Structure 1
Amino acid sequence: MEAKVTAHARYTIADIDKRLYGSFLEHLGRAVYTGIYEPDHPSADENGMRRDVIELVQSLDTPVCRYPGGNFVSAYNWEDGIGPRESRPTRLDLAWRTAESNHVGVHEFADWAKAAGTDMMLAVNLGSRGLDAARNFVEYVNHPGGSHWSDLRRKNGRADPWNVKLWCLGNEMDGPWQVGHKTASEYGHLANETAKAIRAFDDKLELVVCGSSHSDMPTYPQWEATVLDETYDQVDYISLHMYFENYEKRTSEYLALPQKLDRYIGTVAGVIDYVKAKKRSKKDVKISFDEWNVWYHERKSDAKRMKEWDWPHAPVLLEDIYNFEDVLQVGCILNTFIRRSDVVRIACIAQLVNVIAPIMTEPGGKAWRQTIYYPFQLASRNGRGVALHLDVDCPSYNADVAADVPYLDIAGVHDADAGTVTFFAINRHGEEAMSIDLSLERFGTPRSVEHTLIKHDDLEAKNTRDNPDAVKPVKADGARLSGETLQLSVPPYSYSMIKVTL
């Protein structure tokens, strides 16, 4: 099987916002407790945070982390997570039927984020609460001093404000499962008034309004049209969420799902353009795709367990163990975001540790990389620069979700400062290798090429505590340069990163 790809230095999509490689931590299961925070762990720092986890997050180079939810935030009182730890109340979390100790709040998360090398992206509760709690939270976090809430922060040990720039106006408010669920018009009005209050405090903050929880919601895409009609002048981003499933174990269908993702993004981009034109606005609203990942391995069984338990604290919940097949899916998802980086400026893998996450931990023991850690790491560390519009000619197949799904899923990024052009390529064909003829035009003279490959003969291969390196990247041979042409072959069902130094 053969593919021809042309990359031209002048045929570009957009400068990639580094926050395209963002992450997410929610107070859910063991994401926080025994995930990032375990004061009795041998690696714990002075704040009780696991250094082994911090090192793994640092290696991902994820620029922003969304917190504290997620469904959790819709019944969360942020004031419960400040002040002396021994005085903080234990609350019942209605989203996940667990007990929340509040031992980790905004102060602890901020210290962890600094250590991990990531910026905070904070969410306010527009489910059970509203405008007043939101503006107070922003004042507590961002005002230097001389007011009630900023002086309380100083009293609690943080003299300087954190100056968080990115704020989410609630979470999945279109979902009937959400505490405080609202109609589009109800939510749009509340979000607009909350945004106005926050902008009265600081009009330079970036605000994210809730879009659809997924593209199969009965209110999609009218939800986006109604909410943006209410909020367009006050917000910067609209959030989208999507999770990827393979219950029927059909790999070709599973790997076609990013075509649905692409349509989802395209439709919402069209709604944004419609509202912009309707309002005769010069402002651009972009997409924050702030929840995405593979999620199905433990989903149904854990939903049943959750209904039966008696409010445990930090239970094992939604701890999907990812396989090699999921590497291919995550690679395709990230490629879609790169190709849509003109409108998708922020994206957050959900989540970061233990709960549907690239990083797993054992309480009191090891931390290790799941299989999906690697495509995310390779894209995050090498996918910065300008996204390229590639001309791709390759065989395709028809799937239930889309026709003409290309067997080669490929995205390209030009980093002029580093002098590199990097391609991320997934061969969706399960039986045939793919010979790729890649033409590089107007980039200058290619000097060298490096091919990193993730491949395993068993789609179900997993990384575990006792075998953490079953699936990992390796250096591959065979890529060769001839003038401005690159040629290589990629195996069936494989993920490749090809980096050309100019």
Structure 2
Amino acid sequence: MTNARLTVDRDFVVGPVPRRLFGSFVEHMGRCVYTGIYEPGHPTADEHGYRGDVLALTREMGVSIVRYPGGNFVSGYHWEDGIGPVDERPRRIDGAWHTIETNAFGLHEFAGWAKEAGVEVMEAINLGTRGLEEARALVEYANHPGGTAWSDLRIKNGAKDPFGIKVWNLGNELDGPWQIGHKTADEYGRLANETAKAMKLVDPSIELVAVGSSGRKMPTFGEWEHTVLSHAYDEVDYISLHAYYQEHDGDALSFLACANDMDSFIESVIATADAVKAKRHSNKSIQLSFDEWNVWYQQRGDAGDQLHVLEKQQWREHPRLIEDEYNVTDAVVVGTLLNSLLRHGDRVTIANQAQLVNVIAPIRSEEGGPAWRQTIFWPFARMAELASGNILRVASSGDRFETAQYGDAAVVDASVTYDAERGRVAVFLANRGLDEDADLTVALRGFTASEVTRAEVLAIPDGGDRFTANTEDRQDAVGLVKLEHAAIADGELRATLPPLSWAVIEIAVAVA
């Protein structure tokens, strides 16, 4: 058995839990939109074509904000193609994913879906093939009440009230050579600054996200952020981060420690943004939007190779793309990535798991068939439900393990929140040990703990292994069950975590 001791203090607060941390992403890619969130004729579809089963799972998951419509897709997208009568909308080639876009689903449809799902819209604009004029027109169309050409067109198209979109992405991954309209940092930084100014002249209340690096391993990482923010610091509110992780060549320990890399990525971007702040003698701090993150098996034949064969396919509508099947190990890793985001919640105030349905997603669906929860659904759903109030700093000691890629890591990874109104402390835990239980103690300074009110764990099911996944035929093979060994003793939380598991423990507390 391994051992871990955590200490939290009521007065050692990172900051309030940002609700936008529990965001998702819907891109016109693969089957995320078509046969994902939208499938007219499906047995559960409503009069708008929204799949009711997927809507229900989205609400259950606790998603707060959804980024739309891309992703690489947005860098070649004309937003005007997705408005007006559906039968008059043009069919277009989408070069990003080598597909045919019918434009049957566009801004009005997504805004309506978001209202039904109870989520905030985070709209991305095309700064790849388009620019300032199209961006400010879109803000006017979406947010202006009426009496102008673009806002009156929105009303004519059926939306009397403005959509009121507050958060906008100034493009996507323009540091990447694969991106349609790829730019240098100087080119992008100046364009982002001027576009931001024009958009805010239309609606001063909006919040803007500048494109950061597409990954920490990009050769321009660091310099890109510094250059872009040197141009656009005064006009933007966020800088973006993207990161995907997978298990390479059976190196499970490195995979389980990849939150170390996310921690370092976040802290490096904070340092760069604050360096620009210091140089400019500014009183404003740039926040971080981690608007793409997840486990993604980019180098596995049944998933990643789908991207490489696109060029050889005929142009098709919504083909299957990167529909990864997630197992127990993946769920534990997603739990640690959520912990990393929450631990940095004073600066990472938006995050979007990519994507919501079918495409590297916590929710899977089949055309005309069922929708179900993947293993990675559960850590997200429980953290979205129970992480409230303030984030507490966690002091950790105990057993550690060495990895080939990310150095050494604590066997037990954790984040903690305290909700004063409810009198609850929530502890989110991952036992990254492959073979041993973890004996856990949590000291709760400044609190009087009375009882454990909830204790749940996701672990290897009986008869399964770490690769067990939820499938169409076995939709509930992996899920949350009661954590039997969790109790308050001598004012501390004591628990035993099974090998390779993710757990949440909620404790009723009073201020000591």
Match of 1:332 among 324, 330, 336: 336
Matches of 1:471 and 1:486 in 2, distance apart? 26
Alpha-carbon distance in structure 1 between the residues aligned to 2:323 and 2:452: 41
Cα deviation, 1:232-272, whole Å, max 9, x if unaligned, reads 00000000000011131211111111101111101000001
**Displacement after TM superposition at 1:300 (Å):** 2.9
Query: Equivalences for 1:362-441 in 2 at 5 Å?
Result: 362-441=366-445
After superposition, give the CA deviation of every residue in 1:92-130 in whole Å (9 maximum; x if it has no partner): 001000000000000000110010110100000000000
- Residue in structure 1 matching 2:484, options 469, 477, 481: 477
Q: Which moved more, 1:214-223 or 1:399-408?
A: 399-408
Q: Judging changes above 3 Å, is the alpha-carbon distance between structure 1 residues 445 and 492 closer, same or farther for their aligned structure 2 residues? A: closer
Give the root-mean-square deviation of aligned CA atoms: 1.0
Contact 1:260/1:401 (8 A) holds in 2: no
> 1:495 aligned to 502, 508, 512, which one?
502
Look up the equivalent residue of 1:132 and give its one-letter code. Answer: E
Question: In the TM superposition, what are the counterparts of 1:176-187 in structure 2 within 5 Å?
Answer: 176-187=177-188
Q: Which residue in the other structure is 2:259 paired with?
A: 258
* 1:160 lines up with 2:156 in the alignment: no
Quick one: which amino acid aligns to residue 104 of structure 2? Answer: H
1:455-490 Cα offsets, whole Å, 9 max, x none, are 115111010111100000011212111242111111
Query: For residues 198-255 of structure 1, what are the alpha-carbon distances to aligned partners after superposition, in whole Å with 9 as ceiling and x for unaligned?
Result: 1111222100000000000000010000000000000000000000111312111111
Matching of residues 32-431 of structure 1 within 5 Å: 32-296=33-297, 297=300, 298-431=302-435
For residue 265 of structure 2, what is the amino acid of its counterpart? Y
Task: Call closer, same or farther: CA 1:128–1:153 in 2, change over 3 Å.
Answer: same
Structure 2 gap ranges (5+): none
Following the alignment from structure 1 to structure 2, what is the Cα–Cα distance between the partners of residues 40 and 436?
Answer: 50
CA contact (8 A) 2:89 2:103 kept: yes
Partner of 2:292: helix, strand, or coil? strand
Segments of structure 1 that go 5 or more residues without pairing to the other structure are none
The answer as to whether partners of 1:428 and 1:493 remain within 8 angstroms in 2 is: yes
2:175 alignment partner, SS class: coil
Could you say what secondary structure the match of 2:334 adopts?
A: helix
Q: Distance in 2 between matches of 1:447 and 1:458?
A: 32
Is the 8 Å Cα contact of residues 226 and 276 (structure 2) preserved in structure 1? yes
CA distance in 1, matches of 2:74, 2:89: 17
- Are the equivalent residues in 2 in contact too, given 1:449–1:480 (CA < 8 A)? no
Contact 1:449-1:481 within 8 A present in 2 as well? no
Match for 1:433: what amino acid? D
Q: Is the 8 A contact 1:445 1:483 kept in 2?
A: no
1:446 to 2:453 alignment: no
State whether residues 185 and 227 of structure 2, in contact with CA within 8 Å, keep that contact through their aligned partners in structure 1. yes
- Measure how far apart 1:299 and its partner are: 4.0
Matched-pair contact (CA < 8 Å) for 2:451–2:487:
no
C-alpha separation in 1, matches of 2:167 and 2:490: 45
Q: What is the alpha-carbon distance in structure 2 between the residues aligned to residue 48 and residue 71 of structure 1?
A: 25
Conserved in 2, the CA contact under 8 Å of 1:449 and 1:479?
A: no
How many residue pairs are counted as aligned between the two chains?
Answer: 502
Task: Provide closer, same or farther for how the CA distance between residues 299 and 222 of structure 1 changes in structure 2, counting only shifts above 3 A.
Answer: farther
Tell me which amino acid in the other structure corresponds to 1:140: Y
* Separation in 2, partners of 1:466, 1:198: 48
- TM-score w.r.t. the length of structure 1 is 0.99
Q: How far 1:364 moved relative to its partner?
A: 0.4
Which residue identity lines up with residue 430 of structure 1 in the other structure? Answer: L
d(CA) in 1 for partners of 2:453, 2:155: 52
User: What per-residue deviation string (whole Å, max 9, x for no partner) do you get for residues 136-159 of structure 1?
Assistant: 001000000000000000000000
What amino acid does structure 1 have at the position aligned with 2:451? R
Question: Is this contact kept in 2: 1:450–1:479, CA < 8 A?
Answer: no
Question: Which whole-Å CA distance do the structure 1 matches of 2:360 and 2:253 have between them?
Answer: 22
Contact kept in structure 1, 2:8 and 2:444, CA below 8 Å:
yes
Residues 172, 211 of structure 1: 8 Å contact kept? yes
